[in-house]
Amino acid sequence: MCGIVGILGHAPATPRILESLKRLEYRGYDSAGIAVHDGGELIRRRAPGKLSALEEVLSENPLSGNTGIGHTRWATHGEPTEANAHPHMTDRVAIVHNGIIENFRPLKEELLKKGASFEGETDTEVVARLLTSYLDEGLAPKDAFQKTLSRLVGAFALCVLIKGEDDLMFGAREGSPLVVGLGEGENYLGSDAMALASLSSKLIYLEEGDWAELHHDSVQVFDAAGNAVERTVTISQVAATMVDKGNHRHFMQKEIFEQPTVVAQALGRYLDPNAGKVRMPHMPFELATVPKVTLVACGTSYYAAQVARYWIEKLARVPVEVDIASEFRYREPVYADGGLAIFISQSGETADTLAALRHAKAAGQHVAAIVNVMGSTMAREADLVLPIHAGAEIGVASTKAFTCQLSVLAALAVDLAAAKGQINEEQEAAFVQELETAPKLMAQVLHNDEAIEEIARSIAPARDVLFVGRGIHFPIAMEGALKLKEISYIHAEGYAAGELKHGPIALIDENVPVIGIAPKDDLIDKTVSNLQEIMARQGKVILLSDNAEEEAEGMFARLEMPSAGELVTPILYAIPVQLLAYYAAVEKGTDVDQPRNLAKSVTVE
């Protein structure tokens, strides 16, 4: 979601804030702005659109000052206009905000009755006006800020400057992450470690309800009750150098081609090929006694969970439930005593997944987090953390994080099966050996890049595209459809191939490409039969299969895939559907890395 950077410094703040905001572009945004302390005054510049638009504004009207706050906004309340862009200001405060203030309407009505006026439509402006009202009543800045926080309901991270207080910055978090960076005679606030990578490696992750008072030479953290507290200082491992695209056209393309490397890195953390064993981190519970597994995630991570259900139930014979995080708490799930609840999130900050994690933890479940960011809130709150080791993923549409999630989940499924006695040592060694082949086979798929690009060009003009698969490849079909929707804006749906005749086959005509995911497995005959039904209705079938030569008669196009076992095929087939989406989006000229309306890290429900 939105990105926050605050610098309480001794050198010009604006260029450093811009540099940090560029690190946050991967989160997705539609406007940006900066406010600084300059000569005792608060001055700001804002612009809708990308950071390049803000840079143009700053080139015409520069900002000086060593203390400032910056923001990239993903619109929630109010359209992405300059009036709604952050920072929001009054005559006394400047504020940036990530999250949603749920009670902003009654607060706004209260302030309007007191004579306050509003420039935009955002919930954030209410916070600025409320804080100003308490300062106008004569409260000291610290007391006014704490009182303001006590009135807010929702999920938020805040960074605040106060006019005339050039050695003071406030930050607060409730439901949205915020990090304090420590420097020499300078201190900082940021949305995450990436935001502060060029400024500081010494970080304090604020906990739920915490707020912080920053000065040039000191930082004091308080809990929600206003008590001074000590929080651990951690050393960030995020590289200070800016992540770049290398020789690739987009970050997404680069990240697709990184997958053999990062999957090898991920599997290297969990597999012992010499012993033929899976080596999971120490678990604070007995895996052998787990009666049920609950998998909870959103978006692409949800489809990784769907794949894992097939693996876990087939190999370990443990019942699995898979839930969309935003729905999970509201159906009042029934937990099994001693159950394991696994929460999957690239960022580790996904708001609804985090809320679901807390719900399960409060219900007494063993809680595991599969994340890409070790310092994230989910990682800190889980009983067990299983990092995916994908490295920084900048493209909004997840690619390498997805295949790394699958790799970790596959290893976990094997470990659970061994713990349950459902597989013996020889079988475990065979599965480990199979997983070890994944990076090499992924590289083989990437060698078909040009063929996939050619197929994608034929898809790009379509209004509707269907993806179909059976069994463990049904979730890959849904993931392929999601990718195409996300970045090309083509309407796409993923279906279980056998479900088509129950309604969706009515959509088929000669203008509808259908991507058939059909590896040579126990279900291939049924899948190919379903694809024949599509061709009989003039559907343009594009076959992805390691049996393509044999099964491709009458198909519009085919892509030969390498053969692999049941743990590796979903990982392999993720790659061509990613590339089909990527090249279709390039053909259509859409913004591949930052597609419209989407954000990398969704930190509000």
Identify the CA nearest to 104 among candidates 177, 175, 154.
Answer: 154
- 334-to-285, 286, 323, 330 alpha-carbon distances in Å: 20, 21, 12, 12
Q: What angle do CA 492, 494, 499 make, to 5 degrees?
A: 130
- Residue 326's contacts (CB-CB under 8 Å, 6 or more residues apart) are 298, 352, 605
- Say how far apart CA 154 and CA 102 lie, in whole Å: 5
- Say how far apart CA 112 and CA 183 lie, in whole Å: 41
- Residue 104's contacts (CB-CB under 8 Å, 6 or more residues apart) are 77, 123, 126, 154
Work out the angle between the directed axes of helices 425-436 and 400-419 (0-180°, nearest 10): 170
Cβ neighbourhood burial of 361 (10 Å; 0-12, 13-18, 19+): middle
Identify the CA nearest to 155 among candidates 98, 222, 70, 80.
Answer: 98
Q: What angle do CA 54, 56, 62 make, to 5 degrees?
A: 85
**CB of 192 closer than 8 Å to CB of 373:** yes
Q: Which residues are catalytic?
A: 2, 600
Cβ neighbourhood burial of 398 (10 Å; 0-12, 13-18, 19+): buried
For residue 169, what are its two tokens? Answer: 């910055």
- Say how far apart CA 496 and CA 310 lie, in whole Å: 14
- Say how far apart CA 261 and CA 408 lie, in whole Å: 14
Q: What SS3 class is residue 307? A: helix
Identify the CA nearest to 481 among candidates 453, 459, 502.
Answer: 459
- 493-to-180, 298, 497, 519, 576 alpha-carbon distances in Å: 42, 17, 12, 20, 16
- Say how far apart CA 136 and CA 116 lie, in whole Å: 12
- Say how far apart CA 108 and CA 121 lie, in whole Å: 11
